[in-house]
């Protein structure tokens, strides 16, 4: 029931009531040629895809990469629309892109991750859209900053855009992970909490950066009750001029979507709830235990800060930290915890521990001289 009313409030579903969860948007990273664009679109339409994406102005991290075909691609997108009946979506990064896309009859616009980080650019797009009723999707900024993401959505809301959506495409990280961009699922979940009427569409292609990992990310998005998927698909992914490693063929996309298991958020089964409550109680106790132990560890760090201060020794001894990292990582690994998680966990503990020692070392600093 709750799910139904949420659906009715979902501004992108208003776009077409036939769209049920997940809302799927698929198409190549970039429109490269008319044949590639139309060939990909026809194959996707044959698999029942209703919304086609293709970038024509491509913000690339490094110069000398393929930067998109530009406005000519809009004509190919129009042909896709006429030919297949699919809605067409493209990325806009400034007012000129907005005017050209609107003139060409583009149905859905999206703002890219490198644009969302810049409030001036987002405001320029919002101003260009004032008074226009078109769905706009905002990709998360490259940095894990929820307020910046929300700020961009708010700028569009203030310009009168009501059919707003968010695209969760992962976040740049300095850590080495098997993903191109860290999903930080909690940020997407928090966005839904802060803006419940805005559907969140996960982009497993840009999160994973690897076509073999697209299915797993898509399934995780569904299990976290996110609303849709944007997946890059290309008629010949290996030959793609951008993001070749992460694109799938239309047939592969179809197989991924068919394999997805859409689980219900709840069931009316007493035994299920009883068992779940039992397990949740265990988790609650363990979390309490972990937090109490962490607080105790910080008390000991402060004690170390006191003796280091007394003996005029620096907070950080890099060799000790290296030893901790290696030993604990090996222990975590032997217990089935991923190296990525252990690194993040140990770094967080270390940073907090340094903060506690620093507090002790530098308290009364002014009095101490
Ligand atoms: C894209 O969708 O092809 C793209 C450039 O994505 P992002 O803005 O997420 O990097
Ligand atoms: Mn791409």
Which of the four pLDDT bands, split at 50, 70 and 90, describes residue 314? Answer: confident
Closest C-alpha to ligand 1, atom 6: 112
Span 221-275, pLDDT tens digits: 999 999 999 999 999 999 999 999 999 999 999 999 999 999 988 889 999 999 9
Q: For the chain, what percent of residues have pLDDT higher than 70?
A: 93
* Cα distance between residue 69 and residue 335, in whole Å: 50
Query: Which segments of 163-249 does DSSP mark as H helices, in order?
Result: 185-194, 204-208, 214-223
Give the pLDDT mean for 139-167: 97
Cβ neighbors of 203 (< 8 A, separation 6 or more) are: 139, 167, 168, 169, 170, 229, 230, 231
Beta carbon of 53 within 6 Å of any ligand 1 atom: no
Place of tokens 């990280």: 173
Span 57-81, pLDDT tens digits: 998 878 888 999 999 999 999 999 9
**In this predicted structure, what is the pLDDT of residue 21?**
73
Query: Which segments of 197-338 does DSSP mark as H helices, in order?
Result: 204-208, 214-223, 250-259, 270-310, 318-334
* Cα distance between residue 203 and residue 66, in whole Å: 21
Span 320-365, pLDDT tens digits: 888 988 999 999 999 999 998 999 999 999 999 999 988 888 876 5
Beta carbon of 180 within 6 Å of any ligand 1 atom: no
Partners of 26 in the beta sheet? 52, 231
Span 94-128, pLDDT tens digits: 999 999 999 999 999 999 999 999 999 999 999 99
Closest C-alpha to ligand 1, atom 9: 113
* Cα distance between residue 156 and residue 135, in whole Å: 10
Structural contact between residues 98 and 129, judged by C-beta atoms closer than 8 angstroms = yes
* Cα distance between residue 234 and residue 308, in whole Å: 60
Cα torsion 57, 243, 54, 40: sign: positive
* Cα distance between residue 264 and residue 276, in whole Å: 15
DSSP secondary structure letter of residue 175: S
**In this predicted structure, what is the pLDDT of residue 79?**
98
Task: Report which of 300, 296, 303, 298 is spatially closest to residue 361, judged by C-alpha positions.
Answer: 303
- Distance in Å, CA 209 to ligand 2 centroid: 9
- Distance in Å, CA 162 to ligand 1 centroid: 23
Partners of 201 in the beta sheet? 167, 228
Cα torsion 326, 328, 334, 336: sign: negative
State the maximum Cα–Cα separation within the chain, in Å, rounded to a whole number: 78
Quickly count: other Cβ atoms within 10 Å of residue 287's Cβ. 10
Strand ranges (DSSP E) for the chain? 23-27, 51-53, 87-91, 108-111, 136-139, 164-168, 200-202, 228-232
Q: Given a cut of 50, is residue 5 above it in pLDDT? A: no
Closest C-alpha to ligand 1, atom 2: 29
Beta carbon of 139 within 6 Å of any ligand 1 atom: yes
* Cα distance between residue 317 and residue 304, in whole Å: 12
**CA atoms within 13 A of residue 49's CA, in its CB half-sphere:** 34
């Amino acid at each position: 029931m709750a799910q139904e009313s949420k659906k009715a409030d979902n501004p992108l579903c208003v776009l077409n009531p036939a769209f049920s969860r997940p809302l799927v948007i698929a198409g190549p990273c970039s429109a490269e040629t008319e044949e590639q664009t139309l060939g990909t679109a026809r194959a996707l339409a044959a698999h029942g895809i209703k919304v086609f994406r293709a970038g024509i102005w491509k913000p690339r991290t490094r110069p000398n990469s393929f930067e998109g075909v530009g406005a000519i691609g809009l004509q190919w997108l129009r042909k896709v629309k006429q030919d297949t009946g699919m809605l067409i979506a493209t990325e806009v990064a400034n007012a000129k892109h907005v005017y050209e896309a609107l003139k060409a009859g583009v149905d859905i616009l999206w703002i890219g991750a490198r644009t969302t980080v810049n409030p001036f650019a987002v405001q320029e797009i919002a101003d260009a859209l004032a008074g226009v009723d078109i769905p706009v999707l905002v990709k998360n900024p490259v940095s894990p900053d929820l307020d910046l993401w929300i700020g961009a959505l708010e700028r569009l809301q203030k310009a009168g855009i009501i059919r707003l959506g968010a695209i969760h495409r992962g976040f740049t990280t300095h850590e080495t992970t098997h993903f191109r961009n860290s999903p930080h699922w909690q940020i997407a979940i928090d966005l839904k909490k802060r803006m419940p009427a805005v559907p969140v569409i996960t982009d497993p292609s840009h999160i994973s950066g690897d076509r073999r990992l697209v299915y797993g990310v898509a399934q995780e998005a569904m299990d976290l009750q996110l609303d849709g998927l944007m997946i890059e698909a290309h008629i010949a992914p290996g030959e793609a001029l951008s993001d070749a490693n992460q694109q799938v063929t239309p047939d592969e996309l179809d197989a991924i979507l068919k394999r997805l298991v859409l689980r219900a958020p709840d069931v009316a089964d007493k035994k299920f709830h009883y068992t779940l409550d039992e397990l949740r109680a265990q988790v609650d106790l363990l979390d309490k235990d972990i937090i109490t132990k962490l607080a105790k560890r910080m008390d000991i760090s402060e004690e170390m800060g006191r003796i280091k201060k007394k003996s005029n020794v620096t907070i950080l001894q890099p060799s000790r930290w290296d030893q901790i990292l290696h030993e604990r990582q090996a222990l975590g690994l032997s217990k089935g915890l991923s190296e990525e998680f252990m690194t993040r966990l140990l770094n967080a503990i270390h940073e907090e521990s340094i903060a506690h020692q620093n507090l002790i070392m530098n308290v009364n600093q002014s009095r101490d001289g």
